[in-house]
Amino acid sequence: MSRPLSRLATRVAYASSQLPRVAWYAGHFYVMRRLAEQVRRNDGERPPPRQRSNTPLDRQLEEDRTALFEQDLANVEAGIYPVPADHDGSLLTLLDRSRLFFRDLPDIDQRRKRNATHEVLTTKTRGRRPAYYLQNFHFQSGGWLTDDSADRYDTQVEVLFKGTANAMRRQALPPLAEVFAGRDQRKLRLIDVGCGTGRFLDFVKQAWPRLPTLGLDLSDAYVRHARQHLRRWSRVHFIVANAEAIPAPDASVDAVTSIFMMHELPPPVRRTVIGEAARVLKPGGRLVMIDSLQRGDEPDYDAMLERFPHLYHEPYYASYLREDFAAIAKGCALAHRSDTKAFVSKVMVFDKT
Ligand SMILES: C[S@@+](CC[C@H](N)C(=O)[O-])C[C@H]1O[C@@H](n2cnc3c(N)ncnc32)[C@H](O)[C@@H]1O
């Protein structure tokens, strides 16, 4: 009797943690779209043809979104990680993040119209970061460089993905569980490269509270935000550093992860970063990357993926769509184990041979 009840309790807990946030962020998405239509009308632009709803593409996206949440729940039920706590903050924090998000939309829109992609490249920043980094990715204010940008980032990403970004990130946990199984977590080491505001590392700690982890990112502001977000955990460290030169000895870590970063890098830098991940991994160690689906992964999504970098400033996304990660990995002694789709993302797994 207790097993079905505890299964029911898990399902209720899962649904009550995920449904409200999907409603919240999807709601933001629809309001944002309405505001964009209003702006176009005010600017005297011809309205775009009314989008049909419930197209085959909409239906497939809906099915794949549902499959993502089903997989997320199945992972919880299999004991791979607990019912997730997304830690989006109190209602006041949520409202404040929402205000920050909406207040920035007109500036993003202006930047898109002017194709202003390099506002953050100034006499102050030039030379302090690689040139490819000093851009207004997604046309966002402050690029990767300001505290406001870090505070807005997770709302922006969750709105774009209508509340599924964290669920996609969590799909990196099952391949980590495979290599951590039966081992003393306190003796393992994990580095998350391009950790951003630390959302993925939070889920790593929820699954393995005593695992020593290092978050690495080139943004002071995002690392500050991540430190604050993960302050309740011990054995979590952060470093502001370039993923092209990971500050760790050869063969010193058991797992390297990288979430939603590869599409932000120029092709030669991707190769350097994957080479660095391979260098710091111990033999048998695992690299898990999550990023967008690529061209051909889901042919019905190809047109949507090709359109994406025209709406958001994503200078390296077109090359990402065609990148051969298995070939890059092979060149640095990483064996390609699997690719698994997770809604509009995929989980790529490689082992150091
Ligand atoms: C799209 S965000 C992804 C952040 C986070 N992993 C997530 O799940 O949302 C890309 C991150 O990569 C970082 N980044 C880009 N190039 C980098 C580099 N060369 N070295 C370290 N971090 C870098 C940016 O600062 C940013 O935080």
Report the nearest atom of ligand 1 relative to the CA of 133.
16
288 touches 260 (CB < 8 A)? no
**Cα dihedral across residues 20, 25, 26, 28: positive or negative:** positive
- Ligand 1 mutation target, pool 157, 217, 291, 344, most atoms within 8 A of CB: 217
217 CA → ligand 1 middle, Å: 6
Encode pLDDT of 196-250 as tens digits: 999 999 999 999 999 999 999 999 999 999 999 999 999 999 999 999 999 999 9
Token couple for 91 = 């209602």
Strand partners, 255: 190, 286
194 CA → ligand 1 middle, Å: 4
Give the residue, out of 87, 264, 288, with the most ligand 1 atoms within 8 A of its beta carbon, to mutate for a pocket test: 264
Give the residue, out of 199, 201, 261, with the most ligand 1 atoms within 8 A of its beta carbon, to mutate for a pocket test: 261
Q: Which of 138, 218, 308 to mutate to test the pocket of ligand 1 (most atoms within 8 A of CB)?
A: 218
Cα(261) to ligand 1 centroid in Å equals 5
Rounded CA separation 294/298 (Å): 8
Ligand 1 centroid to 195 CA: how many Å? 6
256 Cα to the center of ligand 1, angstroms: 14
Distance 49 CA to ligand 1 centre (A): 36
Q: How far is the CA of 232 from the centre of ligand 1 (A)?
A: 23
Angle, alpha carbons 291-145-308 (nearest 5°): 35
List of the chain residues with pLDDT < 70? 1-5, 46-53
Residues near ligand 1 with C-beta < 6 Å? Answer: 133, 144, 157, 169, 194-196, 199-200, 217-219, 222, 242-244, 259-261, 264-265
Q: Which atom of ligand 1 is closest in space to residue 265's alpha carbon?
A: 16
